[in-house]
Amino acid sequence: MSLVNFTTREITCKIVYYGPGRSGKTTNLHYVYGRVPEARRGRMVSLATQTDRTLFFDFLPIDLGQISGFATRFQLYTVPGQVYYNATRRLVLQGADGVVFVADSQARQLDENIESLQNLQSNLLGMGVDIRSLPVVMQYNKQDLPRELILEAPELDDALNFRAVPSFPADALHGQGVFETLKAISELVLKKLAAGSAA
Amino acid sequence: MTTALNAKFSFETCVVGAANRLAVTAGRAVAENPGTAYNPLFIYSGSGLGKTHLLMAIGQSAKKLVPELNVEYLTLDEYVEAFHAAVAAGQGDAFRRRFENVDILLVDDVQFLTNRKEMQTELLRLTEALQTAGHQIVLTSDRPPGDISDLDERLISRFSGGLVVDIGAPDYETRVAILRRKAEERAARFQPGVLEAVAGGEYHNVRELLGVLNRLVAYQAVNEELTAEGAKQLLGLSEATPAAAPAAPPDEFGSFLQDVTATVGKAVEAWRARVAEAIIRWEGEGYRTKRLEALLDEETPAAVDEVITRFAADVERLKALEAEVAALDPQAAGQSLFRDPERLNEAEAAAATVQAGAAPPPGPSGAFPLSTYAVGPSNEMAVNAVGAVLEEPGRQYNPLVLIGRSGLGKTHLLHAVGLELAKRPNAVVACLSTQAFIDELIAAIDGDRVEWWRARYRRVTALLLDDVHLVAGKERTQEELFNLFNLLQGGDRQLVFTAPTHPSKLTGVEPRIVSRLEGGLVAELGEPDRAVRRAVVERLLTQQQLSPDATFVDYVADRPADSVRTLVTLIQRVIEAATAQDRPLSAGLAREVLEGQPPEKGRRTTGFRTSGLVVSSLGGIRSREKMVWDWPDPADRLLEELR
């Protein structure tokens, strides 16, 4: 549950990385983990199968310290991408303050991307959350692959980003676009939290 | 020789953050209670992180609380230099004496002890002397004691024996707070976000940070106002150019943090941030911030700044009150109400009370209730007298003087009376040993607050002094006691004393006090009779939840004991033996332990007969004359006589 708690002076944001299997959600978290100073990050919890597929979810807590007098914490989660783990996805999605949709830029994965996006929308609806009211950003991962294999950002925007949310081309393995994505979703979430608390 | 404390380096000017909170808290504790809290206090950190500031703050704060304190600050080099000069002038002993009389010794940079064996020895000797005398020593170094190379093991253990704390590099929030504080001090104004942007850079210490602030101030003095971006460019904090540093990855997290900070800054209304920062600041200094926290719960509170200013003023007032109280009664200054601005009125009242001498003197100990006092024919008269006193305090038997040898229960009965008297409405009972009474008076004379001390005792409803014979030879105490006695007795306030013998037999006590002690009732406590012994045994067994057979209680109760204390020791021995041998408590065991068993046959070693008393294997003492088997071997005796 998102929180700007003026009494305890805490801000807690839960951000969920969503997307089809093998699109690079866990890779995003790993990259962030590697860049966060040790003192600021908690233990990254990753429950994976023998083939490194996320079995349940990944969790990375980050402590940003005191910001404007508020103890600010980010909790980054990933969901398992495989179709058959929908119950887990719903569980992880609960209480999310923002979603990063990590799409696989490979042309042959377009259907999986669309299916996952639909799945996100329907899971949110199942929880009574309208995707239009939730901060979401898109990340088009694996842009480092050969041009002939992938769709470029504008093409993916056309195919997936019909709500015109902020989108970022990325190469999560090498870090390109990872923090840009995180910054964008954080900004959206914090603005929304502030608007919510003001209301 | 020693450096004067720099007034700028105080706790008030010290910005407290996560990296130095422990060190500052320990420093405050030391300043408030030198010699008792952490002794020695050893602070270490890298250069420029505030060691010297903290060291001087301790000295200044302690001096502020107790101006008479002798505080010395010096660096190790100064100490070494002074020592060498003194030795060269043949004044080595004077030098040592001078430092042994220091109440708080603050030594900076002790890492320079490396390879200075003679100074290590000197400092070890001084540390020992200061600690023994209860004086405080605070040391700083750039590394922990164990890491100072070539340092004597004994010094390492001495230094580590108190508290060793480190100060880390300030975190981002502390850096912002430091920059704001320093900018304020220099009356420098910056656009919003400039100091935050500057604080986002990498700094290894505070001096570096202040150097950067100086650059900003200097730049602004001759140029237009800096923006956050401009400041970053000026200081080279902008995103690193890839060509310049291809190997070092950009600090993506730092940049993310700045972005989030900016967003939160925009999202959280400015007044909330100001309140939250004020809370962090005052909480860091140990004050309760309920009033400010309540502000955060409001939607749009009016006059936020006024509330913060008022709060700060209240805290200042609390500090002043605490300091005033600490000078009179250090214990009272430790109360939590001096840390809660919401209780300022209470703090004012408490301070006024202390100033008026109304802080209650030591009361009776709860460990001696009347219900556990064993009564028998031997102490019946005293107990009845106590009953009469409790019925009408100050009217009958005033004073009541309980006399008897040591260990008969005088102190217990005295405190029991005190506890009962304290139950009466508005009672202020002073119950303490005469030695403590004397010590308090000496401290009051020393602190030039005898009037305050007198006022403290003049308001009591009962004064109970244990071992009043200790006033013998203490002329000033007798004078004060005489006046206090007259005042309290005249006001029908109860006085109870204990003494080992009848007042008329006390030597060194002025006749005017003796006659007053005799003027009430002198009740003697005799050797514990069977009923008392039985009651003591039963109480002890109940306390320890033991249930021995009936013969045990009878046996111990039947056994003569010259005092309750002796009796308790005997029973304790039997209980310990029962536990050690895993046997039930019985008369048989008690007999065995208290009267002993015949020893095994064999020649006794000389170790058993070094005195007229023989120590049994179970710890009891038996008279040799009664135990024929304890006669030493005649051959041994002969040898001993020959020696």
Tell me the shortest Cα–Cα distance from A82 to chain B, in angstroms.
Answer: 30
**Higher per-residue pLDDT: B206 or A14:** A14
Are the folds of B21-167 and B370-524 the same? yes
Cβ distance of B273 and A69 shorter than 8 Å: yes
Q: Which of A6, A69, A178 sits opposite B297 (nearest CB)?
A: A6
Residue B213 has a pLDDT of 82
- Residue of A36, A68, A186 lying closest to B253 (CB–CB): A36
Count of the separate structural domains present in chain A: 1
Which of A15, A68, A190 is the best mutation test for B, with the most CBs of B within 10 A?
Answer: A68
pLDDT at A59 over 60: yes
Give yes or no for residue A178 having a pLDDT over 80.
yes
Candidate CATH numbers 1.10.3720.10, 3.40.50.360, 1.10.8.60, 1.10.287.990; the one for domain B172-267:
1.10.8.60
- Report DSSP letters for B587-622, one per residue: HHHHHHHHH--PPPSSPPPGGG-SSSEEE-TTS-EE
Question: How does the average pLDDT of chain A come out, rounded?
Answer: 87
Q: How many CA atoms lie within 13 A of B246 on its CB side?
A: 1
First to last CA, chain B: 60
- Inspect the interface and report whether the beta carbons of B264 and A11 lie closer than 8 Å: yes
The average pLDDT across A42-62 equals 73
**A111 inside domain:** yes
Paired tokens of A31: 């990259």
- Reported as half-sphere exposure (CB side, CA atoms, 13 A), residue B115 has a value of 0
Chain B interface, best mutation among A11, A30, A40, A66, by max B CB count within 10 A: A66
Question: Which residue in chain A is spatially nearest to B173 when comparing CA positions?
Answer: A66
- Topology of the domain covering B370-524: Rossmann fold (3.40.50)
Chain A with chain B: Cβ pairs closer than 8 A: 82
Give the pair of three-digit tokens for residue B129.
Answer: 């002397």
Q: Which of A69, A175, A194 sits opposite B277 (nearest CB)?
A: A69
B276, A36: Cβ pair inside 8 Å? no
**Dihedral pair phi/psi, residue A172, rounded to 5°:** -60, -30
Q: Output phi, psi for B71, to 5 deg.
A: -110, 130
Chain B residues close to A175, C-beta within 8 Å = 249, 252
pLDDT for residue A41:
83
Taking only the tens place, the pLDDT of each residue in A123-138 is 999 999 999 999 999 9
Longest dimension (CA), chain A: 54
Q: Taking CB atoms and an 8 Å limit, are A190 and B277 in contact across chains?
A: no
Kindly report the pTM of this predicted structure. Answer: 0.38
Best mutation site among B180, B260, B279, B281 for testing chain A: the one with the most A CBs within 10 Å? B260
Q: Which chain B residue is nearest to residue A69, measuring alpha carbons?
A: B276
Rounded to the nearest angstrom, the gap between the alpha carbon of residue A196 and the centroid of all alpha carbons in its chain is 21
Do residue A65 and residue B173 have CB atoms under 8 angstroms apart? yes
Distance (Å) from the alpha carbon of A136 to chain B's nearest alpha carbon? 17
pLDDT of B216: 81
Interface contact B268-A183, CB threshold 8 A: no
CB contact under 8 A, A187 and B279: no
Cis previous bond, B67, omega within 30: no
The matching CATH number, chosen from 3.40.605.10, 1.10.10.10, 3.40.630.10, 1.10.8.60, for B530-595 is 1.10.8.60
Question: Nearest CA to CA, how far is A127 from chain B (Å)?
Answer: 27
Q: Do A40 and B253 touch (CB under 8 A)?
A: yes
Residues from chain B contacting residue A194 (CB–CB below 8 Å): 266-268
Write down the pLDDT at residue B297: 77
Chain B residue closest to A187 (CA)? Answer: B263
Contacts of B157 (CB under 8 A, 6+ apart): none
Per-residue pLDDT at A51 = 62
pLDDT of residue B640: 52
| Domain boundary assignment for chain B | 21-167, 172-267, 290-355, 370-524, 530-595, 606-642
Q: Please name the member of B171, B173, B252 whose beta carbon is closest to the beta carbon of A35.
A: B252
Output phi, psi for B361, to 5 deg: -70, 170
How much is the CA Rg of chain A, to the nearest whole Å? 16
pLDDT attached to residue B625: 41
Q: Which of B252, B274, B282 to mutate to test the interface with A (most CBs of A within 10 A)?
A: B252
Rama region for B164: left / alpha / beta (φ>0; ψ in -120 to 50; rest) = beta
CA nearest B267 in A: which residue? Answer: A194
Cα angle B202, B203, B207; round to 5: 160
Beta strands in B89-167 (DSSP E): 104-108, 136-141, 163-167
**Nearest of B520, B546, B252 to residue B397 by alpha carbon:** B520
Give the nearest partner residue to B173 out of A66, A186, A194, using CB atoms.
Answer: A66
Which residue among A65, A178, A193 places its CB closest to the CB of B267? A193
Q: Hey, CA dihedral for B180, B186, B187, B189, is it positive or negative?
A: negative
| Beta carbons of B471 and B438 less than 8 angstroms apart | yes
User: Coil, strand or helix: which one is B329?
Assistant: coil
For residue A199, being part of any structural domain is answered with: no
**H/E run at residue B258:** helix B252-267
Which residues span the domain enclosing A26? 3-194
What does the pLDDT read at residue A1? 45
From A198, which residue of chain B is nearest by alpha-carbon distance?
Answer: B299
Residue A53 is predicted with a pLDDT of 65
- Closest partner residue to A64 among B257, B277, B297, by Cβ? B257
Mention the CATH class of domain B21-167: alpha beta
Spatial separation of the C-alpha atoms in residues A56 and A48, rounded to whole Å: 7
pLDDT at residue A15, as a whole number: 95
Check CB contact under 8 Å for B275 and A40.
no
The alpha carbon of residue A173 is apart from the nearest alpha carbon of chain B, in Å, by 15
Exposure class string for B356-372: b at 16+ Cβ within 10 A, else e? ebbbebebbbeebebee
d(CA B23, CA B165): 6
CA-based nearest distance B111→chain A, Å: 28
The pLDDT, as a whole number, for residue B636 is 53
Nearest to A69 among B259, B267, B280 (CB): B280
The minimum CA-CA distance between B256 and chain A, rounded to whole Å, is 6
Separation of alpha carbons B430 and B622, rounded Å: 42
User: Does residue A62 or residue B116 have the better pLDDT?
Assistant: A62
Mean pLDDT by 10 residues, chain B (643 residues): 71 80 84 83 86 89 87 84 80 80 88 81 85 87 84 82 82 81 80 82 79 78 76 70 48 85 76 79 82 80 84 90 77 77 88 74 88 86 90 88 89 93 90 91 81 83 93 89 89 92 89 87 87 85 79 82 83 85 82 67 43 43 43 52 52
At A96, the pLDDT band (50, 70, 90 cuts) reads very high
